[in-house]
Structure formats: structure tokens, C-alpha cells
Structure 1
Amino acid sequence: MVDATELNRLFWHSRRGMLELDVLLVPFVREVYALLDAEDQARYRKLLECEDQDMFGWFMQREEPQDPDLQRMVRMILDRVQPK
């Protein structure tokens, strides 16, 4: 179970100040993070440690992260917003 303090902290860390990232990360942490298993929650926290420019390239699908954990998290976030 994720406590409110952790969710609040993650919410603020998910706000990057770059609209393209904010519209992906903020709804993800609000709506999905608490439902993730512990491993995926750790992957999301690891993603938040990355540089904004790297994340921008990954989410715009210009490149992929080298780390398989980050690849999984980027794909999970993109799958939520891309039409099937």
C-alpha cells in the first residue's frame, strides 16, 4: 500500500516543468502508480531520477533507454496514452 506522503512526493517529482513530460507523468502517478507492484513502483522512481532531456527523447520515441527497467516503464506510460 502506498501512503499519501509518498504519493504526494512522487506527484511533485513527476512535475518536471516541461509540458510534454508533465502530461504523461502526473496522470500516471495519480491514476496508476498505487496499482503497480513493488518492482514497477521502483522502476517509476528510478525513471524520475533521469534527466528531463533523456525522458523527452524516450517519450517522443526518438530513442530508447538502454536500461531494460526504464524501457519497461517508458513503454507502460506510453501504452496508457497511445490508441491501440
Structure 2
Amino acid sequence: MVDATELNRLFWHSRRGMLELDVLLVPFVREVYATLGEEDRARYRKLLECEDQDMFGWFMQRGEPEDADLRHIVRMILDRVQPK
């Protein structure tokens, strides 16, 4: 279970100040994070430690993270917003 303090902290860490990242990360943490298993939550927290420019490249699909955990969470976030 995710407590309100953790969600609030993650919400603020998800606000990166770059619109392209904010529109992906903020809704994800608000709508999906609490439903994730602990492994995926850890992957999301790990993602938030990355540099904005790296994340921008990954989310714009100009490359993929070398780390398998980061690749997994990036794909999960992208799958949420891309048409099927």
C-alpha cells in the first residue's frame, strides 16, 4: 500500500519542469503508481533519479535505457499513452 506522503513526494519529484516529461510522469504517478507492484514502484523511483535529458530521449523514442529496469518502466509509461 502506498501512503499519501509517498504519493505527494513522488508527485513533486515527477514534476520536472519540462512539459514533455510532466505530461507523462505526473498523470502516471497520480493514476497508476499506487496500483503497481513493489518492483515496478522501485523502477519508477529509479527512473526519477535519471537526468531529464536522458528521460526526454527515451520518451521521445530516440533511444532506450541500457538498464533493463528503466527500459521496463519507460515502456510501461509509453504504452499507457500510445494508441494501440
TM-score (ref. length: structure 1) = 1.00
1:65 offset after TM fit, Å? 0.2
Instruction: Give the percent of matched residue pairs that are identical in Structure 1 and Structure 2.
Output: 88
In structure 2, what is the equivalent of residue 22 of structure 1? Answer: 22
Distance in 1 (alpha carbons) for counterparts of 2:39 and 2:61: 24
Distance in 1 (alpha carbons) for counterparts of 2:83 and 2:20: 17
1:21 offset after TM fit, Å? 0.1
1:34 offset after TM fit, Å? 0.2
Residues 42-83 of structure 1, C-alpha deviations (whole Å, 9 max, x = no match): 000000000000000000000000000000000000000000
Across the aligned residues of Structure 1 and Structure 2, the Cα RMSD in angstroms comes to: 0.2
In structure 2, runs of 5+ residues without a counterpart are none
Q: How does 1:38-77 map to 2 (within 5 A)?
A: 38-77=38-77
Matched residue count: 84
The question of 1:12 aligning with 2:9 is answered no
Distance in 2 (alpha carbons) for counterparts of 1:80 and 1:40: 14
